[in-house]
Chains A and B, each alone.
Chain A
Amino acid sequence: MHQKYSIIGNKIFLLAEKLITTVIKKSLSFSLWDSVGLLLHSLQHLNNQNNPQRETIKNIMVRAYTQEHVYKHPWERVTSASWRKFVDPENKRILSHILEVDTLNRKLDPESGKLYTTRAITVHTPGPWFIRKIIGQDICHCVESTVVDGQSRSMQLSSQNISLQKFVEVVEKIRYDPHPDNPNEWTICRQETSIRIKPLSALASMAEKVEQRCAERFVQNSAKGREVMERICKYLEAESRGISL
């Protein structure tokens, strides 16, 4: 029993790892949530097939990935862009999977210059028309907590999904800091993503099918994300020049 378990488990582990590696490496912050629906859809589909492995293998796998990106813009501008990324109407056409962004809570500490924010981000889950029928919903809520330290010039974001948690838990942490080589002109963005998928068996069996579609989607969205950030930065740059002239 135990041996069988580990053979199956190992194979599944490899498949799942392959999927997640491909998916996460190609993802960027907000594009990540786009995958949730797709994964879910696949998992639910398998559960419906009465897969016997589902009962015996209840492993939970966590993987973490990191990315870095340097923006050739000062920290003040990049963090301003970060606030506007999902909110500006002209970006909504491009980032069409982001449905709603609401600020739920905000607190300013006037002594320390720290700004605390909680936002809700509602993401449309991709996939075919029947997804709504299968999972019972076609949106996913994510909560994002942000601390901006105006004194030390750092911005830290942490977000995770609060719906669909029985299938997948995704946590993303992002930091924006002045770049050590050019702290007044450049900004370094560090991102760490961890994904926890359950149940493992269901994922693995669908891994190859899901992999390709997720990967395609992520490539599109991560390109869009940088494009949007860079464009807002350029816009803010032009605006600040206009003001200073």
Chain B
Amino acid sequence: MGDNKTSKSHTHSSTSPCAHLRAAYHNCFNRWYSEKFVKGEWKKEECVSEWQKYRACLAEHLDDKHLSRFLEADTLVIDNVNESPTPT
């Protein structure tokens, strides 16, 4: 009998084994974004170690092939953004 439903948390996200690393990275990023990036301090990338740990976990656990494709991509393919709605 698989017993992988005995999660103590009430949220869905805790089912992911990367949840803690993800939260650590997102917290770091959100702080950097609102305190540094939007103020023009974008020369230096931060949260690098959080990012590396989180990404390594994703690489191990992301089993959806469609999603792994994006993870492995060295350069981002942003095909739709250029056609974003423009002021009328």
B42 touches A108 (CB 8 A): yes
B85 touches A104 (CB 8 A): no
Given pairs A87-B26, A110-B44, A174-B84, 11 additional interface contacts (CB within 8 A): A76-B34, A76-B38, A83-B29, A100-B12, A104-B70, A105-B76, A115-B33, A118-B76, A156-B84, A158-B78, A190-B85
Task: Please report the number of residue pairs spanning A and B whose Cβ atoms sit closer than 8 angstroms.
Answer: 116
Collect the chain B residues with CB atoms within 8 Å of residue A191's CB.
85
A141 touches B66 (CB 8 A): yes
B13 touches A66 (CB 8 A): no
> Interface size (B, Cβ < 8 Å)?
41
| Nearest CB on A from B51, distance (A) | 7
B85 touches A158 (CB 8 A): no
* B-binding segment of A19-27, A49-57, A142-150, A213-221: A142-150
Known: A80-B34, A110-B44, A141-B64. A175 touches B85 (CB 8 A): yes
Bound CA span A89–B19, Å = 12
Question: B9-36 CB contact bits vs A (8 Å, 1 = yes)?
Answer: 0011100101000100110011001100
Bound CA span A156–B87, Å = 13
The 3 A-B residue pairs whose C-beta atoms are closest, nearest first, are: A158-B80, A76-B38, A80-B34
- Please provide the chain A residues from 103 to 130 with a CB less than 8 Å away from any CB of chain B in the complex: 103-108, 110, 113, 115-116, 118, 120, 124
B37 touches A150 (CB 8 A): yes
Decide if A79 is an interface residue (CB 8 Å cutoff).
yes
Known: A110-B43, A115-B42, A173-B85. A100 touches B78 (CB 8 A): no
Collect the chain A residues with CB atoms within 8 Å of residue B29's CB.
83, 103, 106
A173 touches B58 (CB 8 A): no
| Nearest CB on A from B35, distance (A) | 8
| Nearest CB on B from A28, distance (A) | 15
Bound CA span A69–B39, Å = 24
Known: A80-B34, A115-B37. A120 touches B81 (CB 8 A): no
Cβ contact of B70, chosen from A80, A83, A143, A177, cutoff 8 A: A143
Decide if A162 is an interface residue (CB 8 Å cutoff).
yes
Decide if A14 is an interface residue (CB 8 Å cutoff).
no
Collect the chain A residues with CB atoms within 8 Å of residue B30's CB.
80, 83-84, 87
Known: A113-B42, A115-B37, A118-B76. A105 touches B85 (CB 8 A): no
B38 touches A150 (CB 8 A): yes
Known: A105-B70, A116-B78, A173-B85. A99 touches B13 (CB 8 A): yes
Collect the chain A residues with CB atoms within 8 Å of residue B33's CB.
79-80, 83, 115
